[in-house]
A and B are shown apart, each in its own frame.
Chain A
Amino acid sequence: MNLQTVLQPKLYWLVSDTLAMTWRSLIRYVRLPQLLVFSTIQPVLFLLLFVYVFGGAIQTPGNNYINFLVPGILVQIVIFGSVQTGVGLAEDLSKGMIDRFRSLPMARSAVLTGRTIADLVRNIFVMILMIVVALIIGFRPQGSFLDILAAMGIIALFGFAFSWISASIGLATRNSETAQVAGFIWIFPLVFASSIFVPIDTMPDWLQAFANISPITVTVNTVRALILDQPLGDNLWQTFVWIFGILIDFFLLAVWRYKVLK
């Protein structure tokens, strides 16, 4: 059966345009495999650095450090990866690609969804690669296969939501270098003031208060509990509130920014 005969014409073209734009964003990784290698090397270095350098000095009651760290690092990867969404869009803007797309009879939203979906696919790929490396150096998940799959789904969705924040930044800056800097600057404190690398109860009270409500901590706690087969508590629903809150707000913001370009 042909997709074109099943769907409404408008919906069919929306899907078709989005797929074309996703393909266009992904093909660069096939053409430039080094791009993928380098975007994987950094998280792998983070993993090795924290496991072998800092790991010995960090106390994680109930878990050995590598098991504690890997769920957090996976979240960190998708957050860092999401910066590329904005960088890519800013580059398209400065090179006139977006002008061309906007002059075409295509679905306008496909420019944004194509890019964010491509980054979602890339994030999943890097995540799998990271898990393989982690398993080699001693990571041992405790949860069931389905729990781990659910955790990966949540991480991917979290990264997808962050891609829309990044898209809004990229459309506002219109310059790939600025988008890179503006995309990372607010992420760094957020990533370190969370439960990604260390248990937060050794932080000073004021920082704990901040880290406790951070969407990153909530999400990391959820996926850590799933992967290590530990109690979820309130983290799961809070994670989904954050993910969908970010997704909806920044989807609307990015679409609006795209509409009022120039």
Chain B
Amino acid sequence: MLIMPEVIISVHEIYKSYGKVHALEGVSFTVPKGTVLGLLGPNGAGKTTLVNILTTLLKPDKGIAMIGGINIAKNPSAVRERIGLAGQFAAVDENLTGKENLELIGALYHVPRKLVKERVQKLLEEFSLTDAANRQVKTYSGGMRRRLDIASSLIGQAEILLLDEPTTGLDPHSRIELWEVIKNLVKNGTTVLLTTQYLEEADRLADNIVIIDKGKIVAQGTAQELKKNIGGGVLEIHAHEKHNLPNIAAAVRDFNPQIDPILEIVSIPVTEGVKILPDIIRKIDEAGIKISDIELRKPTLDEVFLTLTKR
């Protein structure tokens, strides 16, 4: 028997315009309970508009959005009790301590005072902020602010967490830390919708990815499915000496090589990553040509978009 997972967020044919700018043009998708949806897209794609609609900050012009079975347009206050939002900027009060920030948001979620105290302790620990709990937030690093921001959105024990570009502006270390935090939340049953500009981030965290551009969905699926569609990337062979470029191309002629005389490379499109790498190296070796470097370049988000919008 097939067990259908419970859908906790469903977005159906959402339209939103600001004057002549069409921010969203008929966006539809669903998110099963306890999974992560990555909303991937460049600046201005409509990601934040969608998050703002789902968090009741904005009303769509057309379309229906449901969260936990509740129609957002009909009962926004019931939705607010079930969601947590961490917006594009860490919304924390610099003059309060970390602990006071959590207590304030807890009070505003109408959590009983005793429970707030317990949850604050727990969240501070989970987000490695216990040592900084009684320090004013203005002394916090960017990563700490982000963690506090997300902890605040969890104090009401929201089932659904909406994170708008949670790692933008963070250093690599803080970014990886935050990924771990989000993974743990999902392990404990929280549903997460996060927007990002980074393919890698969506790849690491999201069960399903929706790629959005200019207000429209251009692709959706799991990371694996999308990668297969987009292709694996490009293998770049750097010649030791420029005049060797044609020789390299001849040696690997079976793999559709292209010569780029400006960058002094021979590039080969690859679909399955490193699988053909040994073959290529062997061919070059057999031809006795010296090369200075060989690298596999994964597709960038730009290339993903170019590929997806060309079709």
Q: Return chain B residues, CB-CB under 8 Å to A97.
A: 91, 93
Which residue of B77, B108, B153, B156 contacts A101 across the interface (Cβ within 8 Å)? B108
| A261 CA / B58 CA spacing, docked (Å) | 9
Chain B hits for A13, CB < 8 A:
110
What's the Cα separation between A2 and B54 when bound, in Å? Answer: 36
Residue among B85, B107, B152 making CB contact with A16, cutoff 8 Å = B107
Chain A, residues 104-116, CB within 8 Å of chain B (1/0): the string is 1110001000000
Interface residues of B in 83-110 (CB under 8 A from A): 83-85, 87-91, 93, 95-96, 100, 104-105, 107-110
Number of residues from A at the complex interface, CB < 8 A:
25
With both beta carbons as reference points, the residue of chain A lying nearest to B107 in the complex is identified as A20
Residues of B within 8 A of A104 (CB): 80, 105, 108-109, 156
Of A24-32, A46-54, A224-232, A249-257, the one contacting chain B is A24-32
Contact B55 A24 (CB under 8 A): no
A32-B95, A103-B80, A262-B58 given; A24·B89 CB < 8 A: no
Q: How far is the CA of A10 from the CA of B152 in the complex (A)?
A: 23
Interface check A140, CB cutoff 8 A: no
Whether the pair B57, A103 counts as a contact (CB closer than 8 A) is: yes
B83 and A103: CB pair below 8 A? yes
Contact A96–B95 (Cβ < 8 Å): no
Task: Give the residues in chain A near B57, CB-CB below 8 Å.
Answer: 99, 102-103, 261-262
Shortest Cβ gap from A39 to chain B (Å): 15
- From A24, A105, A110, B81 is in contact (CB under 8 Å) with A105
Q: How far is the CB of B114 from chain A (nearest CB, A)?
A: 13
For B96, give its contact among A27, A100, A106 (CB under 8 Å). Answer: A27
CA distance A99 to B92 in the complex (A): 11
Q: Please name all residues of chain B whose beta carbon is closer than 8 Å to the beta carbon of A20 when the two chains form the complex.
A: 104, 107-108
Q: Residues of A contacting B80 with CB < 8 Å?
A: 103-105
How close is B103's CB to chain A, nearest CB, in angstroms? 9
B291-311, CB under 8 A of A: which get 1 and which 0?
000000000000000000000
* Chain A residues within an 8 Å CB radius of B110: 13, 16, 105-106
- Asked whether A27 lies within 8 Å of B95 as measured between CB atoms, the reply is yes
Q: How far is the CA of A175 from the CA of B152 in the complex (A)?
A: 24
Given contacts A104-B109, A104-B156, 20 further A-B contacts (CB under 8 A): A20-B108, A21-B108, A24-B96, A27-B100, A31-B136, A96-B87, A96-B88, A96-B90, A97-B91, A99-B85, A99-B87, A100-B105, A103-B80, A103-B84, A104-B108, A105-B77, A105-B81, A106-B110, A110-B108, A261-B57
Query: What are the 8 tightest A-B residue pairs by CB atom distance, in nearest-first order?
Result: A96-B89, A100-B91, A28-B95, A103-B85, A106-B108, A96-B91, A105-B80, A103-B55
9 interchain pairs (CB within 8 A)?
A16-B110, A27-B96, A27-B100, A99-B55, A100-B153, A103-B80, A104-B105, A105-B77, A105-B156
